[in-house]
Amino acid sequence: MSDARHRSGTSRWAIRPRALGALAVASAGLVGAIVVTGQGDVAAASEHRPVFDDDFAGARGAGLDPAKWLLDGDARHGQLDGDGHLVVDRLAITRKAFAEPYGHAEARIKVRRVSGPWRAFGAVDKYGRVLRGTVDTLDRRADRTSSRDFHTYAIDWTPQAVVWSVDGRATLKLTPDEPGLPIALVLNLATDGRRPGRMEVDFVKVTAGTKPMPAPTQPSATPTSATPTSATPTSAAPTSAAPTTTPPPKPTSPPATAKPTTPPATAKPTTKPAAKPWKAYTDYKAGDLVTYKGVTYRVKEAHTALPGWEPSNLPNLFVKV
């Protein structure tokens, strides 16, 4: 999905490296099917909800569900193992393209590959074209490549960005040239121009909607149960004692005129906004202050925070203050 040899920092996705040869060739054969189904089968939702789910339950030797997937090759290149896994040795693309502006796709995959999580779980537009844009490496250490164990790959997208993560740690961010394009998901077997012999997939799930995913529920501030003090003055009970006559006060000298005092200096209002704890799925604007692990950061660029976008991981979006 990125330059096959992208380095740390920001780079441009030329989208034509040898690493994408297998993806590009296979996608070309599936473009027509994605276009046909994508035009009438683009997902639409008014709220964030599940829009795709395949747990690959079925008998050993059964093929991929053709209502959900397009396979580069015949059925024998993508079969169920009878234990809830898909075993595939060709590229497979979701038949549905997801048009919601916000979404989260997740897959549990075991595959041998070189660096780049998109090499296991990728994204193309609804016409089968590889997404074009600028990529930032967020955390190279998060990109595990072992084929001995399953790892959870995730793709989170907004109108402005597509972010890949591995086992909950964000590793790549794509800023697309064409924001908001509907995307289809790819079980991608491209590995530097070669295909590994085997990929096992436990599940693929997608939730999406027209708004960002809701932030974790926080206990709301509720009024205290204490009874507020009544503002109505209480009536004092009249005393039963008869009023006493008091002698008039003796005349006194007029009080000395008090010297005018200088009013206390009014404290200047603090212009520095209060820093709030960083939270995922929160809209931040440039200049906002947030705290994360005891450190205060200033937001450099307006964005919607996603899981894995902690201030310590994104120096292009946050700066310590």
pLDDT at 312 over 90: no
8 Å CB contact between 143 and 166: yes
Rg (CA), the chain: 31
Residue in the block written with tokens 């939270």: 279
| Residue 313 confidence (pLDDT) above 80 | no
32: enclosing H helix or E strand: helix 21-41
pLDDT recorded at residue 128: 80
pLDDT in tens, 68-126: 999 888 888 899 999 999 999 888 999 989 999 999 999 999 988 777 888 889 998 87
Q: Give the pLDDT confidence score for residue 223 in this predicted structure.
A: 41
- The rounded Cα 270 to chain-centroid distance in angstroms is 33
Distance between CA 252 and CA 255 in Å, rounded?
8
Give the pLDDT score at 219: 40
The three-state (H, E, C) secondary structure of 98-124, written as one string: ECCCEEEEEEEEEECCCCCHHHCEEEE
State the residue for tokens 């040898």.
Answer: 18
- The answer to whether 1 and 13 are in contact (CB under 8 A) is yes
According to DSSP, residue 63 is labeled: B
| pLDDT exceeds cutoff 80 at 156 | yes
Considering the chain, tell me which residue range(s) the CATH 2.10.10.20 domain(s) occupy.
276-320
Q: Which two tokens stand for residue 216?
A: 């974790």
Looking at residue 252, its pLDDT comes to 52
pTM of the model: 0.58
Q: Are strands 78-80 and 183-187 parallel, antiparallel or unpaired?
A: unpaired
Which residues lie closer than 8 Å to 64 by C-beta, 6 or more apart?
Answer: 71, 75, 78, 79, 86, 88, 92
Query: How many residues are given for the chain?
Result: 321
Range(s) of the chain covered by CATH 2.60.120.200? 9-209
d(C-alpha 199, C-alpha 197), whole Å: 7
Tens digit of pLDDT for each residue in 22-54? 454 455 555 555 543 333 344 444 467 899 999
Give the residue carrying structure tokens 């189904």: 37
Class of 9-209 in CATH: mainly beta
**Of residues 178 and 227, which shows the higher confidence score?**
178
Helix (H, G, I), strand (E, B) or coil at 249: coil
Q: What share of the chain is helix, strand, coil (3-state, %, to 5)?
A: 10, 30, 55
Q: Does domain 276-320 have CATH number 2.10.10.20?
A: yes
The phi, psi pair for 32, rounded to 5°, reads -60, -45
pLDDT higher than 80, residue 265 = no
Query: What are the beta bridge partners of residue 268?
Result: none
Q: Where are the strands (E) in the chain, listed by range?
A: 9-12, 49-54, 69-71, 78-80, 86-88, 92-94, 102-111, 121-125, 133-137, 151-157, 162-166, 169-176, 183-187, 199-209, 276-277, 283-284, 289-292, 295-299, 303-304, 318-320
User: Which residues have C-beta within 8 Å of that of residue 89, sequence separation ≥ 6?
Assistant: 77, 78, 189, 195, 197, 198, 199
Structure confidence by residue, pLDDT tens digits, 116-148: 888 889 998 877 888 889 999 898 887 766 678
pLDDT of residue 100: 92
